[in-house]
Every structure is written in C-alpha cells, then in structure tokens.
Amino acid sequence: MTTDKSLKIYNSLNHEIEEFTPVSGNKVFMYVCGPTVYDYMHIGHMKTYIFYDVLARYLSYKGYSVYFLMNITDVDDKIINRSIDRKALYLLKDTDMRLEELAEKLGLGVEYARERVIELIKSGLVELADTQDLRRELIELEKKLSLVDDEIEERKLEEQYEALKDSITPNRVLRISENGKKIIDEIISRGSKLDPIGIAKEFEEYFREDMKKLGITTINVYARASEFIEEIISVAKKLEEEGYAYDTPNALYFNSSKFKDYGKLSGVDPDREYRVHRIELDPNKKNDADWALWRKIKKGHPREPCWDSPWGVGRPGWHIEDTTIILRLLGSQIDIHGGAKELMFPHHEAEIAQAEAYTKIKPWVKFWVHTDVLTVNGKKMSKSLGNYISVRDALKVFDPEVLRYWVLLTKYRHRMDLKLPFEPDLLNPIKPEHLLETPIKQAEQGLERIYNVIRYASFMPKDDEQDDETRKLGESLEYMKKEFLEALDDDLDTPRAIATLHEFATIFFKYCKDRGKLNKKIAEEIVKVFRELGSILNILQKEVMKLSDERMRDLVDLIVDIRDKLRKRGEYSLADEIRERLRSLGIILEDTAKETRWYVSRESPS
C-alpha cells in the first residue's frame, strides 16, 4: 500500500501544526505513557488512550507501518502505598490496634504509617476507636481548601487540617470499619496479593482487560518498568559519568542546570514551576528542579520492592523508567511520543533531558503529541473529591463503542468536561447510574443514528433502479468520505469527521423516506464505506439486528422483571450474569433509580 503523506498534526515541541513525516521511510515508532497500575483505569485515562488508538489506526490506514509501545509503571510509591493500605486492613480485620503497633507490624515509621492511616480514614475503611467524626471533618476541610481563594483563610484551614492529623497520636487506637472489612474480605476471597509486585500485576491485568473491552488494540508491546532495572542502572550510571548526575545521601539526582534545553517543550521556567509540580524537596540537591534517577531507601519508609545499585539499595525514579524503556526497545530516536498534557512538565521535560544527554541526538522525539485532560463539573478527577469514574463502572451502563464515540466528539487537544446534575464529593460519590444523566447518553443516541444508516441500507427493500436521485446519493457518499478523511488529515479532527457522517445520514434518511426503496449497489457501498471509515475510529463495527417480534419483546420484559426481583432480594451476582448474557445477545439493560430500561444494541448474537 502506498503511504499517504497528507496528515498534519500539532507538534507540542514546535507549538504548531506540521506535516507528519517519520524519521525513517514509512515506519512509525510511537510511544505513549502508560498507567501506574495501583487502581482501576478511569475515564480520563480512557480519553487519552482512545485518541492514540485512533492515531495508530489512521497511520496504518494511510499505509504506515506502526510500532506502538506503551510502558507499565509497576514500580511506584502509589503501588507501594496501596500495598501498605491492604496490609493495614488485613492486620486490623480481627483486632483493634494502636497506631504505633500497626506501624511496627508494617515495618514503617509512625509518621509514614500515620499518613496512610489518614487516607484510609478519609476513604471510610478505618476509623478511630473513640470517635467516628474525624472522617467527615477531614473531608469537609479538604473541600473548603479546594475552594478558598484568600491566602490568610487558606493558611488557617491548613493549620486546622494539620491539627486534625496530629490528633492521631501513636497511642490512638485504630479500628477497621464495616466497609473496610468488606473490602479486605473481597481481596482475600479473590486471592489478591498484598505485596507491591502482586498488586501491580493484578491491576495490570484489569487494565489490559479494560483496554480490550474499549477496543484499544493497536499497542504492540506493553513494557513493565520492573523488567528493565539493569538497563535503568546502566543509563543512570552513564549520565553520572558524563557529569549530568550527582550522588547524595538520599538519591542520585539529574542536574537540570547541565542540560541547557531543559524546559524547551513546555516553555516553563523550571526554577519557578518546580514547587507547583511537586518535584521532591531535598537540601542536598544542587537545584530545586533536579529529580531523582535512583532513590535510596529512607529510614521509616517502605523497603520493598528494592534493588542493589552502585548508589545503594533503592528504586528507580519515574522519569528514568520511561526513557530507558524507549531507548532499549525503540532506539535513540522516535517519531511520536504521546501522553496527557499534564505530563509535559516535569515528566516529559525530564525524559528529553535524560535521553538527549545520553544519546547526544536531537531531537530525541520528532513529534510530541499531547491530549488535554477530562474534568468532571470543571474539576480534575480525583478519588478525594468523589468524582472518580472507573472505566469498569462506565461499561456497566454504556457500550464500549458509545464511550469511544463520546470521547471522539471532542478534539484531542481540547479539554473535555463531563457535566453531572449534582456536585459529587467523597461522602456522595458518583455511581454508574449517574452517567445516564450526562452527555454520554446523548452520544449514545448520536451513535445509534449513524448505525441506523447501516441498518436502513441493510434491511430496506432493494431495487436496481439508477436515476438522478440515486446518482446524487452516490456522489454524496463519495463527498462524505473525502470530507471525513480530510478532517482526520487536519490534526485528527474527529468531531468534524463524525459530523460528516451525520450530514450524509440526513441526506440518506430523506432519500429513504421519499422513495421507500434503495438501489442494491448503492446500499452495499454505503455499508462498505461506513464500516471502512468506522474502523479508523473503531466504531460501527458490530452487526446490526432487528427485534420486531412482539412475543420476543414480551420475553425480554419478563426476563428484566425477574432480574429486578433478584436484585431486590440481594442476588446481585445472578442479576449481573443475566445482564451480561442479554448484552451478549445485543440487548442492553440500563438500571436507573426508578426502573430498568432495555434496548437493542448493534451486537449480533455471540
């Protein structure tokens, strides 16, 4: 297939839209920052990964040979803290325990253990034996802090928050909550691990399952950071030998002042921005903006996982993990590096500095392609705000193609905001059924409208008549395909591409209404074109079906009624099985606060 070189895409490095040309012929080496596997994938991740899946699909459609690499961050403090949380719940499940006793059993200092206990209290999994009010007080203070503008008031609230934390003294007795017991019992019953590596493998498996369900299948290799420790040490050692890194009692740091181009991607001043982005504070650092290539184990901090190195027992820093994986698997220069816009500084800046200092090749990445974030009611998604929505929860109420379609209605470089009819918080978090009252529901209807084009073209009565109106319909189809591809060539403008499908649908439905029949050849061509263009976005790929028999409708109503009775009796496992079995037959159930609704999807019986 001949490579089509008409694609233009925004390059964050040069801050402009450029014609896409790979480093070498028609081969495209593409890397996207993957997940830190300590929790379920959320819909913000979904927005990012769906776009890069479409980018890879479109590059392949245009004739490029794409090699798509994604890392798995399985060595990270978030994973270690998740392990500590699980171990704490396990230790508390049968007995109350003083904070200092719990810290000793976890092999931690009291201060580190206290920080984890505070998070468990806020999550409603642990409580103080002598009071149950602390959780609400902490959450309400956090909420006030997120809204305050006055510096004096902010300082006052921070002091109150610290006082609450300090009230958890070493001799305070901790108790697991009923919800905490339920969580740890579920963890134990499914055989989940408590150690960091085991937790990372568990959530990596969940992540891959979610990616597959979402139709994100273009990634060639997932690379775990833990499998590149030797290579990471080797890269860090060379950077030290070349004068770009220096050793301290706490860590081996990259000297940001040695790399003169540091900040060229994001355009920020590292000396001014480092505090905002929480680059680690350490009096031994030469520059505030320096970051750790290798962190040594500190007293009172968790030890596992750790590895020996020339600088002592410790763990790699996050930035060096990604750089090393790319250098090892893709070489010294790549075509596309992707990730969310919020990773631009300091993460991607650090990656550039490490790679270009190591290889002496500039630019290390030819095209930096960033997605903007997804917010909920204008706020960043966070578990601490109660507005966190996992992909698994979204898939309970919406088909994967609906979620893809909804994401692609917004251009990848634009911020996407999910509007909810209420303001969630940790005490009143989002539930799956709340998504039925959001724009995702309207997106579902939009996708159904496009599917109706395929449905009409497949099932309408056919003839062989070829008149002016039929020829015009064929010309409209050709024009629509041209406009669709031109939209994607223009910086992957998926909203405009989808709009062209709807514009043709309007013309097509009027033709069908006026004539009542459809030319057989044009019908086949319509289905073919919609399937072809849909494959780039990975929508419109399911077989359409009809459910017109009244007795069949009565049967589905009966099954839904039985399932509702099972749910009222608390037999959720069987009710969920019925829902999934119906889904496999193309019948989708929507559980609302008042009733269960159903409709026929595009899925054919499996």
pLDDT in tens, 507-564: 999 998 888 889 999 999 999 999 999 999 999 998 876 555 566 677 888 888 899 8
Which residues have a Cβ under 8 Å from the Cβ of 580 and sit 6 or more positions away? none
Average pLDDT, stretch 338-344?
95
Average pLDDT across the chain, whole number: 91
Tokens 């497949």 found at: 458
- Residue 184 has φ and ψ, to the nearest 5°, of -70, -35
**539 φψ region: left (φ > 0), alpha (ψ -120 to 50), beta (else):** beta
- Tell me the three-class secondary structure of 280-303, residue by residue: CCCCCCCCCCCEEEEEECCCCCCC
Indicate whether 581 pLDDT > 90: no
Integer Cα distance of 208 and 45 in angstroms? 13
Integer Cα distance of 254 and 49 in angstroms? 30
Domain spans of the chain?
8-74+203-295+308-371, 77-199, 379-537, 550-600
Look at residue 170 in the predicted model and tell me its pLDDT.
95
* Cβ atoms of 19 and 5 closer than 8 Å: yes
List alpha helices for 148-177, DSSP H: 151-166
Indicate whether 604 pLDDT > 60: no
Integer Cα distance of 84 and 138 in angstroms? 21
Look at residue 589 in the predicted model and tell me its pLDDT.
83
pLDDT in tens, 138-157: 888 888 887 888 888 889 98
The CATH fold of domain 77-199:
Arc Repressor Mutant, subunit A (1.10.10)
Q: Which of 548, 557, 537, 529 is nearest to 446 (CA)?
A: 537
pLDDT in tens, 415-456: 999 999 888 877 788 888 889 889 999 999 999 999 999 988
- Residue 395 has φ and ψ, to the nearest 5°, of -75, -15
Look at residue 57 in the predicted model and tell me its pLDDT.
98
Which residues have a Cβ under 8 Å from the Cβ of 505 and sit 6 or more positions away? 449, 450, 452, 453
Is pLDDT larger for residue 135 or for residue 53?
53
CA dihedral 185, 188, 194, 200 (to 10 degrees): -100
Q: Which of 348, 350, 353 is nearest to 367 (CA)?
A: 348
* Cβ atoms of 446 and 540 closer than 8 Å: no
Q: Which of 71-75, 220-224, 280-284 has the lowest mean pLDDT?
A: 280-284
Tokens 């809204």 found at: 147
Percent of the chain whose pLDDT exceeds 70: 94
Structure token digits, residue 189: 């019953």
Residue 185 three-state SS: helix
pLDDT in tens, 190-242: 999 999 999 999 999 999 999 999 999 999 999 999 999 999 999 999 999 99
CA angle 162, 166, 169 (to 5 degrees): 165
Is pLDDT larger for residue 289 or for residue 3?
289
DSSP state, residue 243: T
Average pLDDT, stretch 336-348?
95
Domain 379-537 in CATH 1.20.120.640: yes
For 8-74+203-295+308-371, CATH number out of 3.40.50.620, 3.30.565.10, 2.40.10.220, 3.30.460.80 equals 3.40.50.620
Percent of the chain whose pLDDT exceeds 90: 72
Beta-ladder partners of 246: 253
Whole-number Cα distances in Å, 569 to 32, 423, 582, 597: 46, 31, 20, 19
Look at residue 572 in the predicted model and tell me its pLDDT.
84
pLDDT in tens, 367-376: 999 999 999 9
pLDDT in tens, 97-136: 999 999 999 999 999 999 999 999 999 999 999 887 898 8
Average pLDDT, stretch 474-491?
97
Residue 389 three-state SS: coil
Sign of CA dihedral 204, 207, 212, 213: positive
Stated as kind and residue range, the H or E segment containing 374 is strand 374-376
Average pLDDT, stretch 356-360?
97
Residue 144 Cα to chain centre, angstroms? 28
Which residues have a Cβ under 8 Å from the Cβ of 306 and sit 6 or more positions away? 297, 313, 314, 315
End-to-end CA distance of the chain: 33
Average pLDDT, stretch 352-377?
96
pLDDT in tens, 247-277: 999 999 999 999 999 999 998 877 665 544 4
